[in-house]
Structure formats: structure tokens, C-alpha cells
Copies of this chain bind each other. A is one copy, B any other.
Amino acid sequence: MLVELTVKGFLDATAGSDPVPGGGSVSALNGAIAAALAEMVANLTIGKKKYEDKESLMRKIAAEAAELQAGFVKAIDEDSDAYNAVFEAFKLPKENDQEKSVRSDAIQAATKVAAQIPLQVARKAAGMMDLLAQVASEGNQNAITDACVAMMCARNAVLGAALNVRINLLSLKDESWSNSVRKEVQMLENLAIKKEQELLTKVHETL
């Protein structure tokens, strides 16, 4: 698994001439980092006299964030695996019409999966942003910049995953599915930009 590499090993695997891990896995990693930072801010709030009344909310946020992190961590590998499956499909034989047809169907099926994995990441990261806004406003204010960085990483998880969905849609023949996904992706992108901007604008006024 990619997350079992050291951070330096992951960076070197990214930098190498293999297309994976690439932007797709990095987007999932950004989601995982955002969730980890949210959990930290909640943990830095729990047990503090000043935030006594937020204790149960922060425990709930910490637990949710841990669960979200686990989902993004899984997607780091899923994204690279999905890319490799497309690559394998392209290597299928194409000597005659039957082989060509089998190969084309395999490419289409693998490409659909390679769009679905980042689509899930984009949905999950966009869905996490209200929790991030909450931990930023209700959590320990000494950690406000950490909550902002979490929000920025979630924004990149959405926008980066969305780009990976979009590029895969380009080679899909199922136009009705592609069109509906493209609309959803556009909506998620707009939402991510808006939610991040709301928090950063608010915090910038105080810094």
C-alpha cells in the first residue's frame, strides 16, 4: 500500500517516471491530510477548560474525521490501481475485430472506474467542508491556521479529483453518464471554492 511508504518514499515514487502515484492519489492524500488536521484541532480543543462546552461536539468531530481519513487513505491506492487497470486494458490484443471489441469494452469499463474513484474523493472532500468550517469556528482558536490549512487541502482534494474525473470523461462513450457527472463535478468545484473562500476571508480579517 502507498501509505506504507515513508513520506520521502511516497515523494520519490511520485517524482519517478511512473504515472502513478500522480495527481489522483495526491488529491486523495490531500483529503486525508485535511481530515487529520481537523482531528488534531478537535483534539487540541478537548480537555481545555475554555472550551468545556464544546467537548462533546469535538469528540464527535474527532471520530468523524478519523473515519474520513481512513476513507481517503484507501482512495490513495484505489486511484493508482484504477489508473493501472486502464493501462492494462490498453495492452489487450487487437489483432481482429472480436479482440478489438473486447479491448474497447475493457478500456471503457476501466476508464469509468478511473472516473468513479476521484468522483468519490471529490464528493467526500466537498462533504467534509462543513465539518472543517465548524472545527475552525468552534474549536481551539490557537489552532485556527491549522483548520484553515485543512480547508485548503480539502479544496485541493475536490478540485484535483475533479480534474481527474474530467480527463477520464473525455474518453468515455457513455455520454448520458458523462454529462450528468460533469454537471455534478462542476457543482462540487463551485462549492469547494466557495466554502474555502468563506473561511479564509473570515480568518484573514483577524490576521
Q: Is the Cβ of A148 less than 8 Å from the Cβ of B166?
A: no
Closest to A47 in B: B17
Chain A contact surface mostly: helix
Question: Smallest CB-CB separation from A12: which chain B residue?
Answer: B36
**CB pair A166 B207 closer than 8 Å:** yes
Nearest CB of chain B from residue A54's CB, rounded to whole Å: 15
A27-35, A96-104, A105-113, A123-131: which lies at the B interface? A27-35
Given A11-B32, A207-B166, A150-B17 contact (CB < 8 Å) = no
Using an 8 Å CB-CB cutoff, how does the interface string of A1-39 with B read, 1 for contact, 0 for none?
011111110111011111100111011011011011101
Q: For A200, what are the chain B residues with a Cβ–Cβ distance below 8 Å?
A: 159
Q: Which residues of chain A (189-203) have a CB below 8 Å from chain B?
A: 200, 203
- B26 to A153, Cβ gap below 8 A? yes
**Contact yes or no, A23 B65, CB < 8 A:** no
**Interfacial chain B residues near A119, Cβ < 8 Å:** none
Q: Are A14 and B33 in contact (CB under 8 A)?
A: yes
Any B CB within 8 A of the CB of A122: no
Contact A163 B143 (CB under 8 A): no
In this complex, the member of A6, A7, A149 whose beta carbon has the largest number of chain B beta carbons within 10 angstroms is A7
Tell me whether A57 is interfacial, beta carbon within 8 Å: no
Interface check A160, CB cutoff 8 A = yes
A sample of 14 cross-chain residue pairs with beta-carbon separation below 8 angstroms, ordered by A number, consists of A4-B8, A5-B7, A11-B69, A14-B39, A17-B44, A19-B143, A19-B146, A23-B146, A145-B164, A148-B163, A152-B156, A152-B160, A167-B207, A170-B207
